[in-house]
Amino acid sequence: MVSLTASVNLARDDFQLAVDQTVSLDGTLGILGPSGAGKTTLLRLLAGLDRPDDGRITIGTTVWFDGEQGFHCPPYQRGIGHVFQDARLFPHLSVAGNLKFAAKRGRGRKPLDLDIPDMLKLSPLMHRMPHTLSGGERQRVALGRALLNAPNLLLLDEPFSAIDGDQRAALLPLLREVTMAAGLPTIIVSHNLSELSYLSEKLWVMRLGKVVAQGPVAEVMNRLDLQEVSTPAEAGSVLEATVANHDSDYLLTRLTCAGETLTVAGFVASPGAAVRVRVYARDVALALAKPVGSSIRNALPAEVKTMVCLPDTPYVDVLVGVGNAELRSRVTRASADDLGLEAGKSVYALLKAVSVETT
Amino acid sequence: MTLDWGALALTAQLAALTTVVLLALATPIAWWLARSNRPLAGWVEAVVALPLVLPPTVIGFYLLVALAPESSLGAWWYSTTGESLLFSFEGLVLASLIYSLPFAVQPLQTAFAGISDNLLEAGSSLGASFPDRFLHIALPLSRRGYVTAAVLTFAHTVGEFGIVLMIGGNIPGETRVASIALYESVEILDYSSAHEMSLVLLGFSFLVLLLVYVSNRAWAPKSEGRL
């Protein structure tokens, strides 16, 4: 497990970045924030493409930047795989040429124990020139190029922003699979909560050049006080679960999650496997009694912990405790008043089996 | 009289040498001009472009002064080689380097300015040092600029006349280049030789420009420029 310390200051004409964080990079760190929050700037400082005014950047025992000593390790000596939002493939080289460029310069570092071209389905593209590729193909090549460089750290800067919906939906699980299989410390920057809740283990939230929240993704996403995780339509919760069994007649999977049983649609994984459950707050309803005569498969006994009104909307976000976990539920203010919701109240959290996503 | 093959060969030799040396010299200048935002860059750009607008005789006059054995450069050359820089092939090479400088720098500068920093940053993050990035990203992406620079430098050096007249004179095998030979033919009213030489130079110049423009069109696929 590698520890990253980023203690950096940077002042631009109309922008100030001040970050002081240490994080252990097991799995993927997501950095969330609106455009202009300084996410890309921070990533460029980590990559060495820009230089902080002062501070210190270390990864493991390696120092990348030390303002006091005036030391700045140039990007080409950092061993970072950087995937930019605009792919940046070399236009004079074919796909194979781009990959070879990276592999050649990654010699000396331990290559990843993966068949990267195979995983990313690059073989049919090898002889193509970059300008003939689609946006999704370009990003696949860019990711493959970064990984073949055998980096110590993978940086992804809005890797899906230039890709349309269908290709994005295909690339997202592929990226998750590759980063998990590579076991590579990864940092991904995005303004899209849904992408980050899918891909990251940890989350930083950036606002106006500062990290305003950080922690495990499940914890940060349940912060009702944090606008960045509360205002998006994709606001919700991430829960850890294990597969209990399958119902092959009805094509359902039962998960054990927070001490309760959760039924989800479809075949998820083999019994015993650990999976991650994503539930959008808008898909979680609350009831005072277990419903009868309802299509809802999951009615989990829960207790209201905190509630926050979303300003200028009809909604209230309610954080309920389910077993040892917490779940964000979004209901109308009218419903909250009718049910008399308040902290400590016992309720049932209702989840349709089809609205639970597993990864 | 017939066509002065010696003058043509000397011209080709002078132009080739000038082109090779000048491409090497112009590369760092053009790179710096294309990438620098400093006010000094504007000054350097103006100096580099001077030979485009100055009468060749002005450059010739200053070179005549600078290369004379009485000058420090001329004296140093004389003491190391025992020969004068004036009225010598070496002197002509030096003059051509100055005279043709903008024809090498400007196409390269345009080519370098067209290379996105994004691509160089991508190279950097993949572990490529500056020389590596230059050789394997910038150079292949600027090949059109290099062809244009080489052809224009060569052709412009072939067309040099005023400066040669002032500092080179008309020594066969040493400084008697094609344009001088042509001038002399006209002076002695040998119009048939003048016709031959003129036709050769006209044909050469046209072929050169044809090569530049046709190759520029052929080499302008979508793969260059932005991605």
Nearest CA in chain B to A142: B122
d(CA A166, CA A344): 43
Per-residue pLDDT reduced to its tens digit, B120-134: 999 999 999 999 999
Q: Please enumerate in sequence order all residues whose Cβ is within 8 A of that of A305, keeping only pairs 6 or more positions apart, or say none.
A: A319, A320, A321, A326, A343
Assess contact for A94 and A124: CB atoms under 8 A. no
Lowest mean pLDDT among A90-94, A281-285, A350-354: A350-354
Confidence check: pLDDT of B13 > 50: yes
Assess contact for B215 and B107: CB atoms under 8 A. no
Architecture per CATH, domain A2-221, reads as: 3-Layer(aba) Sandwich (3.40)
Burial class of A166 by CB neighbour count within 10 A (0 to 12, 13 to 18, 19+) = exposed
- Nearest CB among B127, B141, B223 relative to A105 is that of B127
Q: Any chain A CB within 8 A of the CB of B136? A: yes
d(CA A165, CA B12): 60
d(CA A207, CA A38): 8
Helix (H, G, I), strand (E, B) or coil at A4: strand
Residue with the bigger pLDDT between B209 and A285: it is: A285
Assess contact for A79 and B127: CB atoms under 8 A. yes
* Number of cross-chain residue pairs from A and B with Cβ atoms under 8 Å apart: 76
| Beta-carbon separation of B125 and A91 below 8 A | no
Q: Which helix (H) or strand (E) holds A275?
A: strand A274-280
Structure tokens of A234?
């994709």
Structure tokens of A324?
């040892």
Residue with the bigger pLDDT between A110 and B63: it is: B63
Contacting residues of A for B136, CB less than 8 Å apart: 101
d(CA A68, CA A257): 49
| Beta-carbon separation of B126 and A106 below 8 A | yes
pLDDT of residue B217: 82
Q: How many domains does chain B have?
A: 1
Q: Which helix (H) or strand (E) holds B130?
A: helix B130-133
Please, where in chain A does CATH 3.40.50.300 lie?
2-221
Please, where in chain A does CATH 2.40.50.100 lie?
236-358
Per-residue pLDDT reduced to its tens digit, A58-102: 999 999 999 999 999 999 999 999 999 999 999 999 999 999 999
Nearest CA to A10 among A61, A45, A58, A57?
A45
Q: Any chain A CB within 8 A of the CB of B219? A: no
Confidence check: pLDDT of B173 > 70: yes
Strand pairing category for A202-207 and A210-216 = antiparallel
- Nearest CB among A87, A91, A102 relative to B223 is that of A91
Residue with the bigger pLDDT between B32 and A324: it is: B32
Confidence check: pLDDT of A297 > 90: no
Assess contact for A119 and A181: CB atoms under 8 A. yes
Contacting residues of A for B123, CB less than 8 Å apart: 76, 90, 101
Assess contact for A89 and B227: CB atoms under 8 A. yes
If one counts every other C-beta atom within 10 angstroms of the C-beta of residue A37, the result is 24
Confidence check: pLDDT of B224 > 80: no
* Position B48 in a domain: yes
pLDDT of residue B223: 47
Give me the percent of chain B exceeding a pLDDT of 90: 59
* Position B143 in a domain: yes
Confidence check: pLDDT of B227 > 50: no
d(CA A319, CA A321): 7
φ and ψ at residue A32, rounded to 5 degrees = -110, 145
- State the best of A41, A44, A73, A105 to mutate against chain B, taking most chain B CBs within 10 Å: A105
CA A254 to chain CA centroid, Å, is 25
- Nearest CB among A84, A92, A106 relative to B122 is that of A84
| Beta-carbon separation of A91 and B129 below 8 A | no
Contacting residues of A for B126, CB less than 8 Å apart: 76, 101-102, 105-106, 145-146, 149
Contacting residues of A for B132, CB less than 8 Å apart: 76, 105
* Position B164 in a domain: yes
Nearest CA in chain B to A151: B126
pLDDT confidence bin for A52, thresholds 50/70/90: very high
pLDDT of residue A113: 82
Residue located via tokens 């048939």: B192
CA A268 to chain CA centroid, Å, is 20
Nearest CA to B19 among B100, B112, B134, B138?
B100
CATH number for the domain harbouring residue B165:
1.10.3720.10
How many Å lie between the alpha carbon of A24 and the closest alpha carbon of chain B? 22
Q: Give me the mean pLDDT over the A299-319 stretch.
A: 93
Name the amino acid, one letter, at B121.
E
Give me the percent of chain A exceeding a pLDDT of 70: 100
Contacting residues of B for A76, CB less than 8 Å apart: 123-129, 132
If one counts every other C-beta atom within 10 angstroms of the C-beta of residue B41, the result is 14
d(CA B187, CA A37): 76
How many Å lie between the alpha carbon of A201 and the closest alpha carbon of chain B? 25
Assess contact for A112 and A150: CB atoms under 8 A. yes
pLDDT of residue A110: 81
Nearest CA to A305 among A214, A225, A203?
A225
pLDDT of residue A172: 87
Domain extent for B154: 5-218
d(CA B227, CA B222): 8
φ and ψ at residue A182, rounded to 5 degrees = -75, -25
Confidence check: pLDDT of B107 > 60: yes
| Beta-carbon separation of B128 and A76 below 8 A | yes
Name the amino acid, one letter, at A302.
A
Instruction: Write out the CATH class of domain A236-358.
Output: mainly beta
Lowest mean pLDDT among A85-94, A117-126, B164-173: B164-173
Helix (H, G, I), strand (E, B) or coil at A203: strand
Per-residue pLDDT reduced to its tens digit, A181-216: 888 899 999 999 989 999 999 999 999 999 999 999
| Beta-carbon separation of A101 and B125 below 8 A | no
| Beta-carbon separation of A145 and B126 below 8 A | yes
pLDDT confidence bin for B220, thresholds 50/70/90: low
Name the amino acid, one letter, at B12.
A
DSSP assigned state of A75: G
DSSP assigned state of A332: E
Per-residue exposure over A321-359, b if at least 16 CB sit within 10 Å of its own CB, e if not:
bbeebbbbbbbeeebbeebebeeebebbbbbbbebbbbb
pTM of the complete model: 0.87
Contacting residues of A for B120, CB less than 8 Å apart: none
φ and ψ at residue A263, rounded to 5 degrees = -100, 130
d(CA A101, CA A90): 9
Assess contact for A211 and A205: CB atoms under 8 A. yes
| Beta-carbon separation of A76 and B126 below 8 A | yes
| Beta-carbon separation of A86 and B118 below 8 A | yes
Assess contact for B141 and B224: CB atoms under 8 A. yes
Q: Please enumerate in sequence order all residues whose Cβ is within 8 A of that of A79, keeping only pairs 6 or more positions apart, or say none.
A: A106, A109, A149, A150, A151, A152, A153, B127
In terms of phi and psi (left: phi > 0; alpha: psi -120 to 50; beta: otherwise), the region of A320 is beta
Nearest CA in chain B to A46: B125
Confidence check: pLDDT of A149 > 90: yes
Per-residue pLDDT reduced to its tens digit, A240-266: 899 999 988 999 999 998 888 999 988
* Position B225 in a domain: no
In terms of phi and psi (left: phi > 0; alpha: psi -120 to 50; beta: otherwise), the region of A260 is beta
Assess contact for A286 and A341: CB atoms under 8 A. yes
pLDDT of residue B69: 85
pLDDT of residue B225: 42
Confidence check: pLDDT of B18 > 60: yes
In terms of phi and psi (left: phi > 0; alpha: psi -120 to 50; beta: otherwise), the region of A158 is left
- State the best of B117, B118, B125 to mutate against chain A, taking most chain A CBs within 10 Å: B125
* Position B192 in a domain: yes
DSSP assigned state of A251: T
Q: Any chain B CB within 8 A of the CB of A107? A: no
Q: Any chain B CB within 8 A of the CB of A50? A: no
**HEC secondary structure over A111-170:** CCCCCHHHHCCCHHHCCCCHHHCCHHHHHHHHHHHHHHCCCCEEEEECCCCCCCHHHHHH
d(CA A57, CA A78): 11
